[in-house]
Amino acid sequence: MIYLKLFLSFLQIGAFSFGGGYAAMPLIQEQVITANHWLTMDAFTDLVTIAEMTPGPIAINAATFVGTQVAGLPGALAATFGCILPSCVFVTLLAWLYARFRNMALLQKTLGALRPAVVAMIAKAGLTILISAFFLDGTVSLALHNVSFRSIVYFVLALFLLRRAKWNPILVMVLCGVCEMGVYAVSAGRA
């Protein structure tokens, strides 16, 4: 029964996550945390990090991760297949329709109308991740004890290195990971 639930949950995600992996994050969060309680918000933040670091599409990596956490290898297969099945069907159908009707004004207007919705979904996913990274309990508050200043420093450093210094994103992630390991080693040495 859990395999069917994983399959159907990620089938919904795969069917309605237009705009790529970041646009799928709010849908994944809804299914994984709110609807089925498979992961906590902290684990979801880890899921986003792992899905971003590993090769391949974020939604598929997330499906594999959640499926493995919930029901092992068979769960990973069920969730991943559920996530990719709608894309396979939609892309085949859309390729045929686009080749046949590409010059139709209605099709062009429809695609244009989807763009703002995709931007909104990506922005929502980004804000959710920022809130969970910057605030220790995952909710925005003005209490200083709830703010993760180290995460904010990493964010500003990473943003500077990516935008101004034009560093490779992989190097930035490695640098932040090494910095955190150094902070952990220093704090563990004091204890």
Note the pLDDT tens digit of each residue in 102-149: 788 887 888 888 889 888 988 988 888 888 888 887 778 777 888 889
**100 and 162 assigned to the same domain:** no
pLDDT at 145 (0 to 100): 83
Does residue 6 carry a pLDDT above 90? yes
Is 99 in the same domain as 161? no
Domain boundary among 141, 165, 182: 141
**pLDDT for 25-44, tens place per residue?**
888 999 999 999 999 988 98
In the predicted model, what is the mean pLDDT of residues 2-31? 88
Q: Give the residues across from 147 on adjacent strands.
A: 135
Number of domains in the chain: 2
pLDDT in tens, 46-80: 888 888 888 888 889 999 999 999 999 999 999 99
Q: How many CB atoms lie within 10 A of CB 19?
A: 15
Mean pLDDT of 83-108: 87
Does 176 share its domain with 118?
no
pLDDT in tens, 177-191: 999 999 999 998 887
Angle between helices 21-29 and 2-16 (to 10 degrees): 140
* Residue 91 confidence (pLDDT): 87
| Structural domain containing residue 63 | 2-141
DSSP structure string for the chain: -HHHHHHHHHHHHHHH-TTSHHHHHHHHHIIIIIIS--S-HHHHHHHHHHHHHSSS-HHHHHHHHHHHHHHHHHHHHHHHHHHHHHHHHHHHHHHHHHHHHTT-HHHHHHHHHHHHHHHHHHHHHHHHHHHHHHBTTSS--S-GGGB-HHHHHHHHHHHHHHHTS---HHHHHHHHHHHHHHHHHHHHHH-
* The pTM of the whole model exceeds 0.85: no
Higher pLDDT, 53 or 164: 164
Mean pLDDT of 16-22: 75
Residues 153 and 135 in one domain: no
Q: Domain check: are 101 and 124 in the same one?
A: yes
Same domain, 17 and 74: yes
Name which of 86-90, 137-141, 157-161 the model is least confident about: 137-141
* pLDDT computed for residue 137 by the predictor: 78
What is the pLDDT averaged over residues 166-176?
Answer: 94
Question: What integer pLDDT is reported at residue 37 of this predicted model?
Answer: 94
